[in-house]
């Protein structure tokens, strides 16, 4: 015995389904105008999908949870390794050939202890913004003209602190909501580099040197704005793969849960890189002879390039990289400035994140251009202020 029901959805066309869903755009209106305009910084006027929990609140369910767990597990493992190494220090120092391990352990603890409070403060604010501030609040505050939106987006980084680990997904979320890519990319570079937490940590790491704080702020902001304008002028559509909305959204998720997950993920993930940076900096100071540093110190250009490359390789969180830079006493002030400016904008973890969000073609081109512009700006600003 068969039951009679309403019209079956099996035989309905895509247009019929679209008409049956209130607010659904017609499939005949393709996304081509958005893809054609968005690469060069023209904001989209198409109807955006409802904000995803991961975008507006900083965390989502489904596929997002395993990714967070994996990153947090890596950070926890790195922190655990450092704790074991520090606790085992007194035993290892007595072994033959490990007399320098005590100095290495002291440096690791000093750098980590100085950096952790600022790292925690930055991740607290970042998680709160991600959980409680809607993403469309940023697009409403930006001018429609991309050239004007770029410096505004750079200035927004001054009041929206966050780790560079979160800057890529935030920039992708802004693009999905119609923000010009040039402005979103400027925010991506500026937010982790010129926010108050980073500037205060720089002042603490370089006591009695306010010129270093001013130099970092000025060089970082100039680099971010220049890269936004360069993208408007020379960016190509085929280089940028527009980010797609994450899957796995469960409506009605708790914002407090999103805050907790965001804080846990950002702190453990960035804390792991802080430990790696502290261990690498301590190793550098203990193993590298002073004579090698004197070679770099005598060549300003070479010292700046070496410090910039170290920033890419060490991938230290921006809230704590000033303490690592301050430990590089063999480098010139301009070289240490380059370490702090390049790090939050170009490092290995950011290149990987950008490749996943925007495509490898974009990530390598954008990172290489940012590296060159950052080094040149540091040389100019350092020569004037330092």
The per-residue pLDDT for range 42-87, each reduced to its tens digit, is: 544 444 444 443 333 333 333 334 444 344 555 566 566 666 666 6
Q: Is the pTM of this model over 0.95?
A: no
* Rounded Cα gap, residues 375 and 384, in angstroms: 14
Count of Cβ atoms closer than 10 Å to residue 63 Cβ: 12
Q: In which band, very low, low, confident or very high, does the pLDDT at 340 lie, cut at 50, 70 and 90?
A: very high
Chain mean position to CA 139 = 19
Taking only the tens place, the pLDDT of each residue in 211-241 is 999 999 999 999 999 999 999 999 887 788 8
Count of Cβ atoms closer than 10 Å to residue 309 Cβ: 15
Q: Of residues 385 and 68, which shows the higher confidence score?
A: 385
Which pLDDT score, from 0 to 100, does residue 46 have? 42
Report whether 231 contacts 213 (CB < 8 A).
no
What does the pLDDT average to over 133-154? 82
Q: How many helices (H) and strands (E) does the chain have?
A: 19, 0
What does the pLDDT average to over 354-374? 90
């Amino acid at each position: 015995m068969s039951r009679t029901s309403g019209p079956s959805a099996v035989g309905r066309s895509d247009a019929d389904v679209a008409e049956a869903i209130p607010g659904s755009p017609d499939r005949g209106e393709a996304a081509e105008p958005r893809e054609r305009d968005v690469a060069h910084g023209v904001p989209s006027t198409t109807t955006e999908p409802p904000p995803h929990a991961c975008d507006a609140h900083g965390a989502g369910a489904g596929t997002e949870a395993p990714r967070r767990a994996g990153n947090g597990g890596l950070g926890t493992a790195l922190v655990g390794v450092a704790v074991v190494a520090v606790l085992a220090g007194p035993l290892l120092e007595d072994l033959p050939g490990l007399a320098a391990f005590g100095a290495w352990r002291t440096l690791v603890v000093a750098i980590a202890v100085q950096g952790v409070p600022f790292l925690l403060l930055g991740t607290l604010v970042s998680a709160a913004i991600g959980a409680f501030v809607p993403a469309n609040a940023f697009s409403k505050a930006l001018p429609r003209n991309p050239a004007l939106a770029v410096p505004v987006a750079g200035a927004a980084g001054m009041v929206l602190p966050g780790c560079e680990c979160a800057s890529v997904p935030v920039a992708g979320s802004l693009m999905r909501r119609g923000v010009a890519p040039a402005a979103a990319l400027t925010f991506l570079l500026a937010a982790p580099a010129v926010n108050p937490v980073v500037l205060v940590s720089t002042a603490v790491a370089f006591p009695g040197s306010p010129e270093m704080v001013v130099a970092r702020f000025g060089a970082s902001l100039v680099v971010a704005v220049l890269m936004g304008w360069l993208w408007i002028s020379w960016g190509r559509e085929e280089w940028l793969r527009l980010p797609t909305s994450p899957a796995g959204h469960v409506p009605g998720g708790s914002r407090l849960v999103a805050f907790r997950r965001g804080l846990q993920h950002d702190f453990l993930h960035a804390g792991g890189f802080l430990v790696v940076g502290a261990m690498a900096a301590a190793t550098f100071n203990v193993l590298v002879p002073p004579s090698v540093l004197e070679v770099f110190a005598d060549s300003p250009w070479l010292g700046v390039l070496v410090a910039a490359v170290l920033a890419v390789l060490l991938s230290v969180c921006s809230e704590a990289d000033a303490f690592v830079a301050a430990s590089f006493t063999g480098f010139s002030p301009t070289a240490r400035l380059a370490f702090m400016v390049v790090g939050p904008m170009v490092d290995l973890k950011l290149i990987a994140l950008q490749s996943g969000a925007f495509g490898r073609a974009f990530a390598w081109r954008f990172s290489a251009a940012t590296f060159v512009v950052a080094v040149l700006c540091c040389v100019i600003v350092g020569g004037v202020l330092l």
